[in-house]
Amino acid sequence: MLETLSKVFTDNPLIVSFAVVGAAMYISYVISDRFTKGRIHGSAIAIIIGLILAYFGGITTGGEKGLSDVSIFAGIGLMGGGMLRDFAIVATAFGASFDEIKKAGVRGVVSLFIGVILSFVVGVGIALAFGYTDAVSLTTIGAGTATYIVGPVTGAAIGATSEVITISIAAGLVKSILTMVGTPFVAKYIGLNNPRTAMVYGGLMGTTSGVAGGLAATDPKLVPYGAVTATFYTGLGCLMGPSVLFLMTKAAFG
């Protein structure tokens, strides 16, 4: 029976990957509701579960692709690969309307540029602290600190190594988790209780999943507003990362 199941899983890798992710999401939201009363969003817990599974998959097989190195979970490599990632970027961008972002006024637009540049500078500083000195690596890790989508897009465009791109994704994931978990706790101190501040917050933080998850745990009504500017943040980061930010980093560090 086990051999039969193994063959079914191996022959239908993408279907299995959707089932695994769905199960992980279900468990995550149950944990969120029962043990944190929604204060830690299910998406944050799901990311942590994914990282744990990837870690154990890697040390079990000695491979380089985490859980997808296990044959029956090979479809996760496709599901989490560049194709669906780029599809998600395009789909997210199509879901945003420029008319909506204008409702935040100049503050919303300014928050986008401040958010991207500030996150990038912090990421470059961290990369320098860990010994990276070339412009390609610094730019990729800095872009990853903006979001885990901007990092790999930038890295692929400027020729970064797979190791550096992986680090950029990890940096973005850390930021996303911290944003999800931290937003409900800082909301009352920064006046995050209305659509306008939610849009500015989304522009400053940028990580769409982190902002959406954090706002969902704070006030679900604010999610669409924060997600709109966070979506534009991702698009702006993908435009600036391989071009303006790379050229600035190259001029500064050679």
Per-10-residue mean pLDDT, the chain, length 254: 66 79 88 81 79 78 69 71 63 59 73 91 92 92 91 90 90 88 87 87 87 84 84 87 91 82
At 175, is the secondary structure helix, strand, or coil?
Answer: helix
* Paired tokens of 140: 């990729």
38 DSSP assignment = T
In this predicted structure, what is the pLDDT of residue 21?
A: 83
Task: Supply the mean pLDDT for the chain.
Answer: 82
Q: What is the pLDDT of residue 128?
A: 93
Look at residue 64 in the predicted model and tell me its pLDDT: 66
Residue given tokens 């465009």 in the structure block: 157
DSSP state of 191: T
**Could you tell me if 246 and 219 are in contact, meaning their C-beta atoms sit under 8 angstroms apart?**
no
Residue type, 249: T
Torsion sign, CA atoms 110, 112, 115, 118: negative
φ, ψ (nearest 5 deg) of residue 240: -80, -30
Planar angle of CA 223, 180, 203, nearest 5 degrees: 55
In the structure encoding, which two tokens stand for residue 20, read together? 């695994």
**Pair of tokens at residue 165:** 């791109």
pLDDT at 141: 95
Q: Directed axis angle between helix 42-61 and helix 162-186, to 10°?
A: 150
Under DSSP, the state recorded for 243 is I
- Residue 85 CA to residue 152 CA, distance in Å, equals 10
Query: What is the signed CA dihedral for 64, 79, 152, 235, rounded to 10 degrees?
Result: -170
Q: Token digits for 224?
A: 């669409």
- Which residue, among 243, 249, 254, has the nearest Cα to 124 in the 3D structure? 249
| pTM: predicted TM-score of the whole model, two decimal places | 0.73
